[in-house]
Amino acid sequence: MDSPPSTGRLTGAQREELIEQVKQQVAIATAQELLTKISEKCFKKCIAKPSSSLDSSEQKCIAMCMDRYMDSWNLVSKAYSSRIQKESMR
């Protein structure tokens, strides 16, 4: 990213690769953010008092917590996008 972009010199294949790269980077950023949040939230919910290892009830809690966090994410995404749609029709 040192020189300014000049797409005049991009070949078709380079262009395709650039598009793929951007898509991938956006997907990675989302996944990373989600992972960080899930660890933070589920640690708080499931580990009341850290002991010498993750016991099975803690593991079960974390597994459920992960799934519920992703459910919540999808629900928020749906609610937010339908709200945006409503707002744009006003």
Comparing CB distances to another protein, the nearer of 55 and 71 is 71
- The interface with another protein within residues 27-66 (CB under 8 A) comprises 29-30, 33-34, 37, 41-42, 45-46, 61, 64-65
Q: Which of 26, 28, 35, 54 binds another protein (CB under 8 A)?
A: 26
Q: Whole-number minimum distance, CB 50 to another protein, in Å?
A: 18
Close Cβ partners of 66 (under 8 Å, ≥ 6 residues apart): 38, 42
Count of residues in contact with another protein, rule CB under 8 A:
39
Element (H, E) at 45: helix 12-46
Residue 6 DSSP label: -
- Provide the token pair at 48: 């009341």
